[in-house]
Chains A and B, each alone.
Chain A
Amino acid sequence: MSRKKKLASIFASFMMAAGVLAGCGGAAGTSGGGEKGETIKIGANLELSGGVASYGQSIKEGIDLALEEINKEGIDGKKLELVAVDNKSEAPEAISGATKLVSQDKVVAIIGAATSGNTKAQIEIAQSNNIPLLTPTGTAADITVKDGKLNDFIFRTCFIDPFQGTVAANFAINDLNVKTAAIFIDSSSDYSKGLAESFKELFTKEGGQIVSEEAYVAKDTDFRAQLTNIKAKNPEFIFIPGYYEEVGLIIKQARELGISVPMMGADGWDSPKLVELAGADALNNTFITNHYSSGDSDPKVQEFVKAFKEKYKDKSPDAFNALGYDSAYFLADAIKRAGSSDPKKIQKALAETDGLELVTGKMKLDKDHNPIKAAVILEYKNGEQTFKTKITP
């Protein structure tokens, strides 16, 4: 059975290669020779089924759209061919998928996975085979740097968790002009603690004062006692870096207790459930940081939204779509600058990325392979996320 499948897949790839060769033959003629036209294979190792299938599918939609555009011109006459494997949202499947992409399909780079865990599972394979691995949405800090050592073949398109805390502090001080803030964290989540830490650091450095720090644990339902404590300290702003299940209740209860100051969180709030839990009224005057907004007036974003809606039946692209799209462009740009399909040269070019214009902002990589790029601030107005501003670090 598996032998038959293998044979079939080899046969299929032969046919594809033949087809592409024939296609490129014509193109080579017009471009006046150069290298013999062939395709460059890139892999995608994504969560196309299983628990977080919606993440992987959204990313793939973005990648598909980007490749369609890139292949109109090609890179030095070559087209990019995507080999996608489904890791079923499980780390062991992600490992075997990566092995297949590297050893069987001979891809020059892999895009994936959507979650930090499934990305970490592939790091070893990418590192030992010298194949660049690019995660669109893995935000955990220790993907690219582990124990102080850089994983030199690992890259990401999204910003990392602590960055959102910095952006929030920036926004609170410069746009909302607040001097005092309270922090309310989920003490059972590293994500929440990481964001709070970076918020606090920048906020106090910029002259702000943290007047109250309270905590809860995931699954709590009663936050009134902590909120009463916060209210007594009269902060002008409350930072709540948690997930939507608890945050929805916190906001509702805070407003009931008469706390009317602006509240802010990060991408953990981003779910339609938040609006149901908190209620549209209570959510007014709250903000979140996120990777991208389809309401951003930037022409590059609007162009992307338009192209995406054309291809996907009027669906409005979310942050995962945008980051998938950007990952493909990020990689294509590096392949172009490398002038070769040698994975090592691509790795070097990826690391040198500076000033690349993407849908999710102008991007530069720092020495830890983490993108330095803009984050958007969204404001909830009557239950709808509206684009507020973009903060460039």
Chain B
Amino acid sequence: MEQLIQQLVNGVSLGSIYALIALGYTMVYGIVKLINFAHGDVFMVGAFIGFYSITVLDLGFLPSLLLAMTTCAIFGVLIERIAYKPLRNATRIAALITAIGVSLFIEYGMIYVRGAQPEAYPNNVVSIKSFEVFGIKISGQSLLILAVSIVLMILLQFIVHKTKIGKAMRAVSHDMDAAKLMGINVNNTISATFAIGSALAGAAGVVFGMYYTKIDPLMGIIPGLKAFVAAVLGGIGIIPGAMVGGLVLGVIESLVSAAGFSLWRDGVAFVVLILILIFRPSGLFGKNVKEKV
């Protein structure tokens, strides 16, 4: 029993990172209907910015987190303006292929700039002790991850539902042309979406570095794909869905490992994707909308 709860704790920590990345995926998809494959690499860039601001600039956890989020937000907007905006009216496959290209460009650009060797996050950035509850070991860092994720998620909900830009986002997501006719600046709204999504990915990168220590230029690929699965699982385009999808995926993975099939873990994540696509294509939270052809 203790072991099971410990595995759930492990799963929730892993899942909150997936959730943070998945949020960005889902937001961008919700608005421009584009699977932004470069999102996992923005996450990687965030991890490196966090790393350098801790080691080189000697900043603490919170300033590093904010710096990484800001830089990633700008970076995300740049990606959108340079790579995606010219293709807004092109076919979806063209945009998708561009996204893959941007992803590879960021990965190997990073390798070109600093080499492929991994880097280790310093251990002493936040000193929260691990503690035990009924024989279950909960590390301070996993609580920190969960806390950061939940705070950012609440903030995101607030932005989307209570602010003007959030209203614009929802309008654009609903019907881009109609929104334009109503006088909403679609370009700025899309940029804001990319900025917020990328900032979340940057935050996830720093948190990942704190929790897992090792970062390298190709670290974004697998978490990026898993977050995509999480976004689809929750219903792509739906913000609470991404959160729940991430947590569910993290817990599923931990339970698969707990059952002794640790080598099947990644496989199971993608089996989940396939099953969702077959039986509930719109995801757990999705409404079944018939697409008009």
Interface residues of A (CB under 8 A from B): 187, 214-217, 219, 221-222, 224-226, 228-229, 231-232, 245, 248-249, 252, 256-258, 273, 276-277, 279
Query: Which residues on A sit within 8 Å (CB–CB) of B262?
Result: 214-216, 225-226, 229
In Å, the complex CA distance between A257 and B5 comes to 13
B254 and A225 within 8 A (CB):
yes
A–B pairs, 14, beta carbons within 8 Å:
A217-B263, A222-B10, A224-B10, A225-B254, A225-B257, A225-B262, A245-B118, A249-B214, A252-B123, A256-B139, A257-B6, A257-B137, A277-B120, A277-B213
On whether the beta carbons of A229 and B260 are closer than 8 Å, the reply is yes
B258 interface residue per 8 A CB criterion = yes
Min CB distance A277 to B, Å, is 5
Which residues of chain B have C-beta atoms less than 8 A from A257's C-beta?
6, 137, 139
The size class of the interface chain B forms with chain A is 20 to 34
Contact of B14 with A222 in the complex, beta carbons under 8 Å: yes
CA gap between A277 and B258 in the complex, in Å: 25
- Of all chain B residues, the one with the shortest Cβ separation from A212 is B260
Q: Which residue of B lies closest to A279 (CB)?
A: B123
- B229 → A minimal CB distance (Å): 15
List the 6 shortest-distance A-B pairs measured between CB atoms, nearest first: A225-B257, A276-B120, A224-B10, A279-B123, A232-B3, A221-B212
In the complex, how many angstroms separate the beta carbon of B127 from the nearest chain A beta carbon? 12
The yes or no answer to B130 lying at the interface (CB within 8 A) is yes
CB <8 Å contact, B213 and A249? yes
Beta-carbon contacts under 8 Å, B213-244 to A = 213-214, 219, 222
Name B219's closest neighbour in chain A (CB-CB).
A221
For A225, the chain B residues whose CB sits under 8 A away are 7, 10-11, 253-254, 256-258, 262, 265
Say yes or no: A256 contacts B214, CB within 8 Å.
no
- Kindly identify which residue among A215, A216, A258, A279 contacts B132, using a CB–CB cutoff of 8 Å: A258
Report the nearest B residue to A253, measured CB to CB. B212
Query: Main secondary structure on chain B at its contact with chain A?
Result: helix
Closest-CB distance, A167 to chain B (whole angstroms)? 27
* Across-interface contacts of A273 in B (CB, < 8 A): 118, 120
Where the two chains meet, the residues of B that have a C-beta atom closer than 8 Å to any C-beta of A are: 3, 6-7, 10-11, 13-14, 118, 120, 123, 130, 132, 137, 139, 141, 212-214, 219, 222, 253-254, 256-258, 260, 262-263, 265
Picked from A217, A249, A276, A279, the residue with its CB within 8 Å of the CB of B212 is A249
**Known contacts A187-B263, A228-B3, A229-B258; is-contact A277 B10 (Cβ 8 Å):** no
Please, which residues of chain B bring their CB within 8 A of the CB of A226? 257, 262
- Asked whether A228 and B10 contact (CB < 8 A) given A258-B137, A273-B120, A277-B120, the answer is yes
Complex: chain B residue closest to A188, CB-CB: B263
**Chain A nearest CB, measured from B244 CB (Å):** 20
Residue of A219, A224, A245, A256 ringed by the most chain B CB atoms within 10 A: A224
With both beta carbons as reference points, the residue of chain B lying nearest to A232 in the complex is identified as B3
Within 8 Å CB of B11, what residues of A? Answer: 225
Q: CA A55 – CA B14 in complex, angstroms? A: 38
* Chain B, Cβ-Cβ closest to A216: B262
| Bound Cα distance from A240 to B10, whole angstroms | 21
Nearest-neighbour CB distance to chain B for A280, whole angstroms, equals 9
Complex contacts, B6 vs chain A, CB 8 Å? 228, 231, 257
Q: With A217-B263, A232-B3, A258-B137 known to touch, is A252 a contact of B258 (CB < 8 Å)?
A: no
Give min CB distance, B32 to chain A, whole Å.
30
Residues of chain B with a CB closer than 8 A to A245's CB:
118, 214
Most buried by A among B123, B137, B262: B262
Bound form: Cα–Cα A276–B130 in Å: 20
Nearest CB of chain A from residue B202's CB, rounded to whole Å = 18
Q: Nearest chain B CB to A248's CB is how many angstroms away? A: 7
The smallest beta-carbon distance between A131 and chain B, in angstroms, is 38
**Chain A residues with Cβ under 8 A from B254's Cβ?**
224-225
- The answer on a CB contact under 8 Å between A277 and B137 is no
Asked if residues A221 and B10 are in contact (CB atoms below 8 Å), the reply is no
B118 to chain A, nearest CB (A): 6
Instruction: Select one of B214, B222, B263 contacting A248, CB under 8 A.
Output: B214
User: Closest chain A residue to B257 by CB distance?
Assistant: A225
Q: Which residues of chain A are near B118, meaning CB under 8 Å?
A: 245, 273, 277
- Assembled-state Cα–Cα distance A277/B260 (Å): 26
Contacts of B222 in A (CB 8 A): 219
- Shortest B95–chain A CB gap in Å is 29
In angstroms, Cα B130 to Cα A334, docked, is 59
- CB-CB under 8 A from A228, the residues of chain B are 3, 6-7, 10, 258
A254 to B97, CA, bound (A): 41
Q: Hey, which chain A residues are within 8 Å of B13, CB to CB?
A: 224
C-alpha spacing A221/B153, complex, angstroms: 24
Whose C-beta in chain A lies nearest to the C-beta of B117?
A273
Is there an interface contact between A256 and B130, defined as CB atoms closer than 8 Å? yes
Closest A residue to B5 by beta carbon equals A228
**B residues within 8 A CB of A222?**
10, 14, 212
Q: How many Å from the CB of B102 to the closest CB on chain A? A: 22
Given the interface pairs A221-B212, A258-B132, A277-B214, the reply to whether A248 lies near B120 with Cβ below 8 Å is yes
Known contacts A217-B263, A249-B212; decide if A229 and B120 are in contact (CB<8 Å): no
Can you name 18 extra interface pairs (CB under 8 A) apart from A249-B212, A257-B137? A222-B14, A224-B10, A224-B254, A225-B11, A225-B254, A225-B256, A225-B257, A228-B6, A229-B3, A229-B260, A229-B262, A248-B214, A252-B123, A252-B213, A256-B141, A258-B137, A273-B120, A279-B123
CB distance from B76 to the nearest CB of A (A): 24
**Which residue in chain A gives the minimum CB-CB distance to B254?**
A225
